[in-house]
Amino acid sequence: MAEVTEKPPGIRITIRLIRSFEYRSIKNIVIKSIPITSTVGELLKDIGKEIHKSSTLPPPFKKTNYDTIKIFTFAHGQKPNSTAINLEDDDKFILSNLDNSLEEVNLENEVELSYFNRADYDKFKLNPVEQQWN
C-alpha cells in the first residue's frame, strides 16, 4: 500500500535582512507556518510585520528600506560562496513578480531568502570583494 504524504500546513522561511553589504550587517528572522499558496506580495507584507514587531532587531534594521527579495539557498542545498548574498542568477532567484504564489516560485520548507535594498545590491555587485571593517 502506498504511503500518502501530506504537505505541511505552512512552510518555515528564514529571512536574511541585509542592512549593509560592505559591512556584512545581516540579521536573520524566521517566519513560520506561511501557506505555500501565499503570494510573494503577501510574503513581503508578512516580513514587514515581523520586522516591525520584532523586539530583537536593532533599530537600524527596522529603518532600512528593503525593496528586493532573492533566494539565498534551499534547504540542504549548497550555500553560495559569498557570505552576504548569492550573486548569481538574478533573473532566476530575485522574486520580482509579486503575484506569483510561493509554490510557483518553487519555495519550499526551510528556504533562506535575502531581503535588501536593490540600489545597495547593484553597487555591491560591481565590487563584491570589498569589505569594510571600520
State the fold for domain 11-126.
Ubiquitin-like (UB roll) (3.10.20)
* CA neighbor of 120 nearest in space, from 47, 68, 60, 61: 68
Q: Using a cut of 0.95, tell me whether the model's pTM lies above it.
A: no
Which tens digits make up the pLDDT trace of 7-31?
A: 557 899 999 999 999 889 999 999 9
Dump strand ranges (E) for 11-127: 11-20, 25-34, 68-73, 111-116
* CA neighbor of 44 nearest in space, from 99, 106, 121: 99
Which tens digits make up the pLDDT trace of 49-99?
A: 999 999 999 999 999 999 999 999 877 666 666 667 888 899 999 999 999
Q: What is the pLDDT of residue 86?
A: 84
Q: What is the pLDDT of residue 132?
A: 59
Q: What is the pLDDT of residue 4?
A: 56
Residue 27 to residue 41: CA distance in whole angstroms:
21
Which tens digits make up the pLDDT trace of 48-61?
A: 999 999 999 999 99
Query: What's the half-sphere exposure (Cβ side, CA atoms, 13 Å) at 73?
Result: 12
Contact indicator for 23, 1 with CB cutoff of 8 Å: no
What are the extents of the domains in the chain?
11-126
The separation between the first and the last C-alpha atoms of the chain, rounded to the nearest angstrom, is 63
Q: Which residue has the higher pLDDT, 9 or 103?
A: 103
* CA neighbor of 28 nearest in space, from 13, 11, 48, 14: 14
